[in-house]
Structure 1
Amino acid sequence: MEEKDQDFSFRKFPTLSQILQELRELWGLALPITGMNLLVFFRAAVSVFFLGRLGSLELAGGALSLGFTNITGYSVLMGLASGLEPVCSQAYGSKNWALLAISFQRMVLILLVAAIPISLLWLNLERIMIGMGQDKAITSMAATYCLYSLPDLLTNSLLQPLRVFLRSQQAVKPMMYCTMAAVALHAPLNVLMVKVLGLGVGGVAAASVLTNLNMAVLMAGWYLGWGKGREMVMSWRVFGGGDGSGGGVGEVWGGMGPLLRLAVPSCLGICLEWWWYEIVTVMAGYLANPTLAVAATGILIQTTSMMYTVPLALSGCVSTRVGNELGAGNPYKAKLAAMVALGCAFLIGFINVTWTVILRERWAGLFTKDDLVMSLVASVMPIMGLCELGNCPQTTGCGILRATARPAVGARVNLGSFYFVGTPVAVGLAFWLKVGFPGLWFGLMSAQLACVVSILYVVLLQTDWEAEALKAQKLGGVEMSTSSACIEGRETKQEEDEESKGLLTINGNGNNKDDVFWTE
C-alpha cells in the first residue's frame, strides 16, 4: 500500500497525473471483473440455449425456475456476501490479516445458515406456484430444475464470499482466468448431462451447479497454491485460532452480530433493486397485449443485464479501492478514487444512451423476428438508455457506501426510489393514464433519477473522508500515524459522536477489544 496522504495540495486539487494513476488503478481492477461478469452472463445464455433445445415446455419451466431461484436465493446470497466488502477491503488496506480471515469465515457460516430456509422454499416451488395459479406442467419442470439446483446453495455459500475476499485483495485477473476456465467447460457439461446422461431440465441445472463448483475450486486452489493464501493461511485455524486469527468456533459465532449489521442492509439494497425488475415483468403481464409486453420485457431486461456488467464491476472495484485506501489511512486518495469512479460511471451512462438510441431499430432483431415485438422494443430502448444514465452512477455510489460501511443508506435509498417513486409512476402511467408499456419504463427512469440524486447527495455532500479513514483505522485496530495528524485531531470529537450512535465491538484480531465495526 502506498504511503499515507501527506501532500496538502493533493487533498483539494489532485493533479492530472494523480487522476490518471487512479484511472489505471481502478480500471486495472474493473476490466478483469467486467470480463468475469460477461463470462457469467454467457454461462446463463448457454443454459437458456440448452433449455430451448429441449422444447418450449422445458424452456418455460426453466425460465420460471430461474426467476424463482434468482429472487429467493442467488440475490439473497450475493447481497449478504456484499456486506463483507467494507471489512475485507479496509482490513486488507490496514494489513490486518486476522480480521480478513475471520470475517471471511463468518460470512461463509452466515450464508450456510441462510441457505437452509432458501432450500425449503426451493423444495416447495411446485406447491407455491400451483397455489399462485401457474400451469401445472410448467411448474413441474420448474420444480425439477430447482431440485437439481439445490447443491448450488452450498457452492454459492463459498463462491460469493470468496469473490469479495479475493477482490478486496485486488486478485482480479486470477478470478477472471478461473471463471474463464470454468465457463469453458459449461457447454461440454451440458452436453454430458443433457445428451449423454439424458437428465433433461435437471441436467441443465446440474451443469450450472458443476460450473459454479469449478469456479470456487479453481479460485480457492489458486489462492492457496499461488496467491497470498500460502503465507496468510499458515496463521489460520479453521473457524479462528492461531496467532490472532480468532479464538475458535465460539469467537466466530460471537462476532456474527456486527457482520450481520453490515450484511443485512447490503442484501436489502441489492434485492430491492433486483426484485423490482421482476415486478416490471409481472406488471407487463397485465397490459392490453400481455404476450407482446412480456416478450419485449424479457429482451429489455436481458439487455439491461448485459449493460449492468460494467457498472457492477465498477461498483465492486471502487468499493475495493476506497476501502483499501481508507484502511491504509489515506482519506484523500479514497476520495479521489470515489470521484474518478463516479466520473467514469457517468461516461458509461452516456455511452449506453448513445448506442441504445442508434441501434433501437435493429437490436431486438438479435432476439426475435416478430415485427410487433421489435417495434415495441424499439420504442422503449431510448428510455432504457436514459435509465442507465442514472443506473451507472447510482450503482457506483452504492459501492462507495459499502466501502465506507454505510450499506443501510443504500438500502433506504433503493426502497424509497424504487417502491415509493418508481412503482407509483409506473402503475400510474401504464394503467391509469393508459400510456401502456412505455409507462413501466418511465417508472424505472423516475426511480433511477431519485436514486442517483439521493446517492450523490450522500457521497458528495455528507461524506467526511477524514472521519471515514478514522473509522477504518479503528476497524482494523491500527493507530493513526503521525503523518495523519489532521485526522487525529478529530478523534475525540468523532469518538463522542459515535458513542451517541452506539458501537458494535468485534474481537477481530483475537487480542484487541477496541476493534469495532462502524455502522449507521
Structure 2
Amino acid sequence: MESDAEVALIEKRREINRRGSFIKEFGLESKSLWKLSGPAIFTYICQYSLGALTQTFAGQVGELELASVSVGNSVIGGLSYGVMMGMGSALETLCGQAYGAGQMRMLGIYMQRSWVILLVTAIVLLPVYIFAPPILRFFGESDEISRGAGTFALWVIPQLFAYAMNFPIQKFLQAQKKMMAMAWISVVVLVLHVFFSWLLILKLEWGLVGAAVTLNVSWWLVVILQLIYIIVTKSDGAWSGFSMSAFHDLFSFVRLSLASAVMLCLELWYLYVLVVIAGHLDNPVVPVDALSICMNINGWDAMISIGFNAAISVRVSNELGAGNPAAAKFSVWVVSITSMLIAVVCMVLVIATRDVFPYLFTNSEAVANETTRLSVLLGITVLLNGLQPVLSGVAVGAGWQAIVAYVNIGCYYIVGLPLGIVLGFVLDFGSMGIWGGMIGGIVLQTIILIVITSTRNWNKEASEAESRVKKWGGSVAHH
C-alpha cells in the first residue's frame, strides 16, 4: 500500500502535468491564432486607412472638402460598407465549415453565390448614392455639406461594386487561412493610394473628384490583385472556374446573408448614431468634434478586435466543420484571454495619454478639453472591444447570426439608445450621458453573449455544421 505522502506526491505530479499540458496547448492554440489574426489585423488596418487617408488629404484642401468626404465616407460609405461586409460574413460560416469538412470545391461556389447576391444588393443601394444630398438634408445636414458629399457619393459609386466583389473574396481566402496574401496586397495598394491621393487631390487640384477617383482605383486594385492570386494559384482546388451552381439554392443563402448583415450593421450604426445624436445638443460643434476624435481612435482599436473576430470565426467554423467541438471551445477561451489582455493595455494607454492625444487631432483648446473629459468612456469602450467582437466572431463561426441580431436590437436600440438619450438630454449629462447610455447597451450585450457562448452544447453545434455542409454542398459536391 502506498502511504498518504506518496499518494499526495503522485496527485501533485499529475496536477503539474495537467498544468504543463494546458500551458502547452494554450501556446499551440495561441500560435495558430496569431498566424490568422496578425495578417488579418494588418489587412483591416490597411483597408481602413484608405478612407481615413483620403479624409486627411481632403482636409488639406479645405474644411468643406474635409466635411464632405467625412460625411460621404462615414454616412453613405459606412452604410454600404456595413451592409456589404455583413452580407459577406455569411461566407465565414459556410466557407469555414466547408473547409473544415474538406469540401474544398464548395468554397469557390459559395464565393460566386455571394457575388451574385452582393452585386444585386449594390444595385439596390444605388439610389442612396444618387440621391445623397436630399437624404443627408433630411437627417439635418447643412446644404453645402450635403451638396459636397453628394458630389463625392456620385463619383464613388464604383467603390460600392468593388465592396460587392471584395468581401466574398476576403472570406473565401480567410477560410483557407490565406491571410498573408491579403496582407501583402493591402499594403501595396495602400502605398499606391498615398501617392495617387497626393497627386490627384493636392498636386493636380482635383479636390473631391480626385478623392473619389483615388478611392475607386485603390479598392478595385485590391479586388483585381486578389482575383489574380486566386486564379493563378487555383487556391488548392477551391477555385475551379465559374459555375452555374452559383445560382442554385440562392434563397437560403440570402437568408443567412441578411441575418449576418443585420447583425453587423446594428453594431456599426450604433456608434454612428452617437455622433448624429450629439449634433442635436446645444452648441454641437465641440461635442461632435470631440466624439469624432474618440470614434476615430475607437476605429483603429476596433481593427485589432475585428482581426481577432476574423481569426476566431475561422477557427470555430473549421473545427466545427471538422467535427472537433472540444477544440472549437478551447479556441474560444484562448482568443478571449488574449484579446482581453490587449484591451487592458489599450485602455491604460488611452487613459494615461488623455491630456496629450486630443492635440494630435485638433488645435482647439475646447475640443481637446472635451475629448479629455470623454477619455474615460473611450477607455471603457476600448476595454469592451476586447471581448464583445470576439464573441460576435464565435457567433459567426458557429452560424448563430440570427440570434445575435435579436440580441443586438434589444441591447442597443431598446436599452442603450434610449438610456443615452435620457442621460444626455433629460438629465443634462451631454455627450458623456449619450455615450454612457450606449456603453450600458454594449455591457448588456456582452453579458448575454457570454451566457450564450458558455451554455451552448458544442457537440450539437458540430453535428449542425456537418448537416449544413451536407445540405448546401450535397447537390453540388456530386457533380
Considering the TM-score relative to the shorter chain, is it more than 0.5?
A: yes
Q: What is the rounded CA distance, in whole Å, between the counterparts of 1:331 and 1:14 in structure 2?
A: 19
Match among 331, 351, 354 for residue 348 of structure 2: 354
Match among 142, 152, 155 for residue 149 of structure 2: 142
Aligned match of 1:115: 122
Q: What is the rounded CA distance, in whole Å, between the counterparts of 1:232 and 1:271 in structure 2?
A: 29
Q: CA deviation at 1:511?
A: 5.0
CA contact (8 A) 1:11 1:332 kept: no
Q: CA deviation at 1:448?
A: 1.4
Aligned match of 2:399: 405
1:427 alignment partner AA? I
Q: What secondary structure does 2:323 align onto?
A: coil
1:475 aligns with 2:441: no
Q: What is the rounded CA distance, in whole Å, between the counterparts of 1:399 and 1:146 in structure 2?
A: 31
Aligned match of 2:298: 304
1:389 aligns with 2:383: yes
Q: What is the rounded CA distance, in whole Å, between the counterparts of 1:330 and 1:56 in structure 2?
A: 55
CA contact (8 A) 2:61 2:202 kept: no
Q: What is the rounded CA distance, in whole Å, between the counterparts of 1:297 and 1:347 in structure 2?
A: 25
CA contact (8 A) 1:65 1:142 kept: yes
Give unpaired runs (5+ residues) of structure 1: 1-9, 241-247, 478-504, 514-520
Match among 55, 61, 65 for residue 54 of structure 1: 61
Q: What is the rounded CA distance, in whole Å, between the counterparts of 1:416 and 1:108 in structure 2?
A: 31
Structure 1 vs Structure 2 CA RMSD? 2.1
Match among 500, 506, 510 for residue 472 of structure 2: 506
Taking structure 1 as reference, are residues 40 and 506 closer, same or farther at Cα in structure 2, changes over 3 Å only? closer
CA contact (8 A) 1:387 1:444 kept: no
Aligned match of 1:417: 411
1:280-338 per-position Cα deviation (integer Å, ceiling 9, x unaligned): 11111122321111110110110100110111100011000111111112111111111
Taking structure 1 as reference, are residues 258 and 365 closer, same or farther at Cα in structure 2, changes over 3 Å only? same
- Greater alpha carbon shift after TM alignment, 57-66 vs 36-45: 36-45
Mapping 1:160-239, distance limit 5 Å: 160-195=167-202, 198-225=205-232, 227-229=233-235, 231-233=237-239, 236-238=240-242
Match among 91, 94, 112 for residue 87 of structure 1: 94
CA contact (8 A) 1:223 1:230 kept: no
- Greater alpha carbon shift after TM alignment, 314-323 vs 58-67: 58-67
Match among 102, 107, 123 for residue 100 of structure 1: 107
Q: What secondary structure does 1:510 align onto?
A: helix
Aligned match of 1:452: 446
Q: What is the rounded CA distance, in whole Å, between the counterparts of 1:219 and 1:80 in structure 2?
A: 19
- Greater alpha carbon shift after TM alignment, 155-164 vs 93-102: 93-102
Relative to its length, the structure with more helix (as a share) is 2
1:105-151 per-position Cα deviation (integer Å, ceiling 9, x unaligned): 11011100000121121001123234445333222211111111101
Q: CA deviation at 1:12?
A: 13
1:35 aligns with 2:1: no
Question: Aligned pairs, how many?
Answer: 463
Q: What secondary structure does 2:476 align onto?
A: coil
- Greater alpha carbon shift after TM alignment, 122-131 vs 373-382: 122-131
Q: What is the rounded CA distance, in whole Å, between the counterparts of 1:133 and 1:333 in structure 2?
A: 50
Percent identity of equivalent pairs: 26
Mapping 1:355-370, distance limit 5 Å: 355-370=349-364
Q: What is the rounded CA distance, in whole Å, between the counterparts of 2:292 and 2:257 in structure 1?
A: 30
1:506 alignment partner AA? W
CA contact (8 A) 1:384 1:445 kept: no
CA contact (8 A) 2:100 2:319 kept: yes
1:469 alignment partner AA? A
CA contact (8 A) 2:51 2:73 kept: no
TM-score (norm: length of structure 2): 0.92
Aligned match of 1:253: 247
Give unpaired runs (5+ residues) of structure 2: 1-16
Mapping 1:267-306, distance limit 5 Å: 267-306=261-300
TM-score (norm: length of structure 1): 0.85
Q: CA deviation at 1:254?
A: 3.0
Q: What secondary structure does 2:280 align onto?
A: coil
Aligned match of 1:500: none
Q: CA deviation at 1:198?
A: 4.2
Match among 313, 324, 341 for residue 318 of structure 2: 324
1:165-211 per-position Cα deviation (integer Å, ceiling 9, x unaligned): 10110001111001000111002222343346543201101101111
Q: What is the rounded CA distance, in whole Å, between the counterparts of 1:25 and 1:230 in structure 2?
A: 20
Q: What is the rounded CA distance, in whole Å, between the counterparts of 1:427 and 1:300 in structure 2?
A: 19
1:385 alignment partner AA? G
Match among 253, 258, 265 for residue 259 of structure 2: 265
Taking structure 1 as reference, are residues 196 and 389 closer, same or farther at Cα in structure 2, changes over 3 Å only? closer
Q: CA deviation at 1:512?
A: 5.9
Q: What is the rounded CA distance, in whole Å, between the counterparts of 1:228 and 1:14 in structure 2?
A: 38
Taking structure 1 as reference, are residues 56 and 334 closer, same or farther at Cα in structure 2, changes over 3 Å only? same
Q: CA deviation at 1:507?
A: 4.8
1:63 alignment partner AA? S
Q: What secondary structure does 2:122 align onto?
A: helix
